[in-house]
A and B are shown apart, each in its own frame.
Chain A
Amino acid sequence: MFDLKDLYQEVIVDHNRSPRNFGKMENPDRVAEGFNPLCGDRLHLYLKLDNDKISDLSFDGSGCAISVASASLMTDALKGKSLTDAEKVFNEFHHLVTENKPNDPDEVERLGKLAALLGVKDYPARVKCATLCWHTLHSALEGETTPVSTE
């Protein structure tokens, strides 16, 4: 039996209660929307770019603890990163959260705080909650205009 504490780790509960980088940004360079219509989770992601660097990012919206905490942790992890590095973190995170076998401990360690979200692996229905903000980021970086969904 999976332990609920693996899913709702303190980091998750904390970032859900007081999300970091939460709020609409004035004059962002990029905006993207993520929306899962079946469950109703919705978020907007705002980015400020400084050449090849994400100088600032924030989000707002509403959703479950997993999706809010994931967006909060993501914005924390990517602030100041180059676009190439952000894309790399996206790929690593996505790979670890969706791979159909136990995660490699070294890869998990490289994720840092984001690893707290890997608990969703035991709850397949909740993976889409954790990945929504990441796909939204991807869409923002690609400059896409249609809302993203992970359902």
Chain B
Amino acid sequence: MEEYGKLLNAKTRIVAIVHISNALGTINPVKKIIDMAHAHNAVVLVDGAQAVAHTPVDVQALDCDFYVFSGHKLFGPTGTGVLYGKQSLLEQMPPYQGGGDMIKMVTFKKTTYNDLPHKFEAGTPHIAGFIGLGAAIDYVTKTGLENISAWESDLLHYATEAAGNIQELKLIGTAKHKASILSYTLDGIHPHDIGTILDHEGIAIRAGHHCAMPVMEHFKIPATARASFSFYNTRAEVDRLVLGINKCLEIFR
């Protein structure tokens, strides 16, 4: 946070930050990050793609200027997403795309754009997709993000403890405030091989650089294997993951 503070000055226009890191699981102290940026009159955009399915988010309490997330990470359809913006800022912004519904009045002399949010929603929208996203949000809300968060937190602790007993395993991302992912490497085994072997055992993980190559460079690794726990996962599945990891070690022994 000290380093971040040093980056802010009178020239800072916008701060864009992830709420939760997809590669490490770190939950960033966004409220503090936002307050510090605002003290320098910078606007803040928070990428909450990883956060909205795992933790309650209150954009007004955060006081962020923009908050974005994708629908498919909230169990909604692919190709959907949400941009939240403060009304005063959105009103100042010109439309980025022309098409149906984004204008109010057009004459040869003048064009008047439509009110929010229509100004930014040119053309026929992805109607079916957004009905699906609405259903997904209702579902998650009904399940309760506090319940989801508590369940996942239990799985994370259980898995972290189990991972600690595997000598060859190194956890990448050990923040105190962390979302329910286990990003790791195994001595002498490339994450893509771990991915194939676990897949074979019926366990779906993500292997690779997670579109976060600078983070990989920082840890001096090419990639990690990442298990992400959700509220539909169980401790028994974590046990299976551990068995799968041991299988990887056995194959490469």
Q: Is B118 an interface residue (CB 8 A)?
A: no
Segment of A61-69, A75-83, A102-110, A139-147 engaged in the interface with chain B: A61-69
Q: Which of B192, B209, B251 contacts A4 (CB 8 A)?
A: B251
**Separation of A40 and B133 alpha carbons in the complex (Å):** 33
Q: Given the known inter-chain contacts A38-B208, A40-B208, A40-B223, please indicate yes or no for A64 contacting B192, CB distance below 8 A.
A: yes
Task: Point out the residues of chain B lying under 8 angstroms from A125, CB to CB.
Answer: 196
* B223 surroundings in chain A (CB, below 8 A): 39-40
A-side contacts of B252, CB under 8 Å:
8, 13, 16-17, 65
A side interface size, CB within 8 A: 21
A10 to chain B, nearest CB (A): 10
From A41, A65, A66, A126, name the one whose CB has the most chain B CB atoms within 10 angstroms: A65
On chain A, the residues within 8 Å of B193 by CB distance are 8, 64-66
Q: Roughly how many angstroms separate A110 CA and B223 CA in the complex, as a whole number?
A: 36
Interface flag for B190 (CB, 8 Å): yes
Report A1-57 residues with CB < 8 Å from chain B CB: 2, 4, 7-8, 13, 16-17, 38-41
A2-B200, A4-B197, A4-B200 known; A39 and B192 CB under 8 Å? Answer: yes
Q: Is the CB of B251 within 8 A of A13?
A: yes
Chain B contacts of A39 at CB under 8 A?
A: 192, 208, 223
A63 touches B196 (CB 8 A): no
Residues of B within 8 A of A62 (CB): 222
Chain B residues near A64 (CB-CB < 8 A): 190-193
Cα A130 to Cα B193 in complex, Å, equals 13
Instruction: Assess whether B5 is interfacial by the CB under 8 Å rule.
Output: no
The answer to whether A132 has its CB under 8 Å from any CB of chain B is no
B135 near A: Cβ within 8 Å? no
Tell me if B251 and A8 are in contact (CB < 8 A).
Answer: yes
Chain B residues, Cβ within 8 Å of A129:
192
Chain B interface residue bracket vs A:
10 to 19
Q: By the criterion CB–CB under 8 Å, are A7 and B196 in contact?
A: yes
Chain B residues near A68 (CB-CB < 8 A): 190
Q: How far is the CA of A62 from the CA of B188 in the complex (A)?
A: 11
A65 contacts across to B, CB distance below 8 A: 189-190, 193, 252
B-facing residues in A100-132 (Cβ within 8 Å): 123, 125-126, 129
Docked pose: A16 CA to B222 CA in angstroms: 16
Given contacts A4-B251, A40-B223, contact A123 B190 (CB under 8 A): no
| Beta-carbon nearest neighbor of A129 in chain B | B192
B188's nearest neighbour on chain A, judged by CB, is A17
Output the least CB separation between A144 and chain B (Å). Answer: 25
Determine whether the beta carbon of B190 is less than 8 Å from that of A63: yes
Instruction: State A150–B200 Cα separation when bound (angstroms).
Output: 23
A66 to B197, CA, bound (A): 12
Interface centre among B188, B197, B251 (most CB of A within 10 A): B251
Assembly CA distance A68 to B188 (angstroms): 12
CA distance A4 to B189 in the complex (A): 15
A-B contact pairs, 20 of them (CB 8 A): A8-B197, A8-B252, A13-B251, A13-B252, A17-B188, A17-B252, A38-B208, A39-B223, A40-B222, A41-B192, A62-B222, A63-B190, A64-B192, A64-B193, A65-B189, A66-B193, A68-B190, A123-B196, A125-B196, A129-B192
Given contacts A2-B200, A123-B196, A126-B196, 14 further A-B contacts (CB under 8 A): A4-B197, A4-B251, A13-B251, A13-B252, A17-B188, A39-B223, A40-B208, A40-B223, A62-B222, A63-B190, A65-B190, A66-B192, A66-B193, A68-B190
Residues of A within 8 A of B (CB): 2, 4, 7-8, 13, 16-17, 38-41, 62-66, 68, 123, 125-126, 129
